[in-house]
Amino acid sequence: MVDYVGVERVRELVGRLGPARFMRELAAEIEADFGRWESFDKSARHAVHSPVGVIELMPISDGRLYSFKYVNGHPSNTAEGLLTVTAFGVLAEVATGYPLLLAELTLTTALRTAAMSALAARRMARPDSRCMALIGNGAQSEFQAIAFHDQLGIRELRLFDVDAGATAKLQRNLAGMDLEGLTVIACRSTAEAVSGADIVTTVTADKRNATILTAGMIEAGMHLNGVGGDCPGKTELEREILLRPDTRVVVEYAPQSRIEGEVQQVPADFPVIEFSELVAGRATARRSDAEVTLFDSVGFALEDFSALRYLHRLNGAQPGPRGGIDLIPELANPKDLYGLLRPGLAVRKVAA
């Protein structure tokens, strides 16, 4: 049997630890894996685009374990009562090729995205950052708010979304959480939310070259967490922000980010820093308090690899039913696959 972690089991595991601790521990897993960057066989994700969205496969391996994620992005889905993003993933053993885990990754991707955002901001934002603007208050917003409150000590959160209902939803959800010392303010515009903020997170869903932030909104010392620009033709930042002489840009994996991230707007030789270089100490994210830093986040397969491995370990360690799925035949004679179709076949018993 292959271990199976579905939506209900993820809810249970996150409920036992709490979302803040879950994302904090996951951020540590991701950071450790970025610290062994050269161990991974990496590639940009494979994407199939349509007029209404994208479906992607994200593979990676460290030579011992292999993982992939299937993920879609369809911004118009919410009009039909469907999620914009859904995902599932597989963690497998390289030595045998056998899958170890099949897991939901819709909820888990939201958790790992926020974990990665906070991890990057801890290295890139000014240490005294306490005020964050959150532009885009949809499905990812609560996770970002929790992670930044927990891991960076954010105490003032300014919200804006063109959909006032999304902002009201986020306010209700945050009000029901024990986020000590956090003040939440709904703003009337992006400019109002951004003015004076230490950190600005953009996480909008529209599949287009949008201008959520303009160069005129950016103040010295800001850290920008660009989450929503994550496929070709989908950006959130005005190009001039990247071209400012005081802007320093960090990406996850340059070959993928240049296709999908904010840096798709600039020439191929535009200088960027890969996050692994920060972890390894080969580069500095922020050279002064006045510098503007941008984490151009598109989501990379290594983060899902870390999440799947973390889920696999957590699932085995935490109480509760450890689900399995008969995804791979277990035969008495592995050369007799056809025999699986015969009545009375001797199937090897495998411990649950």
Note if 246 is an active site residue. Answer: no
How many Cβ atoms sit within 10 Å of the Cβ of residue 22? 23
Of 230, 269, 296, 304, catalytic: 230
- The span from the CA of 229 to the CA of 97, in Å, is 34
- The span from the CA of 144 to the CA of 117, in Å, is 7
**Dihedral angle of Cα 88, 91, 94, 99, to the nearest 10 degrees:** -80
Q: Which of 71, 48, 66, 19 lies closest to 302 in space, CA to CA?
A: 66
The DSSP H or E segment spanning 73 is strand 65-73
Q: Where are the alpha helices (DSSP H) in 19-83?
A: 19-34
User: CA 203, 205, 210 angle in degrees (round to 5)?
Assistant: 85
Write the secondary structure of 125-166 as one string of H (helix), E (strand) and C (coil).
Answer: CCCCCCEEEEECCCCCHHHHHHHHHHHHCCCEEEEECCCHHH
Looking at the annotation, which residues are catalytic? 230
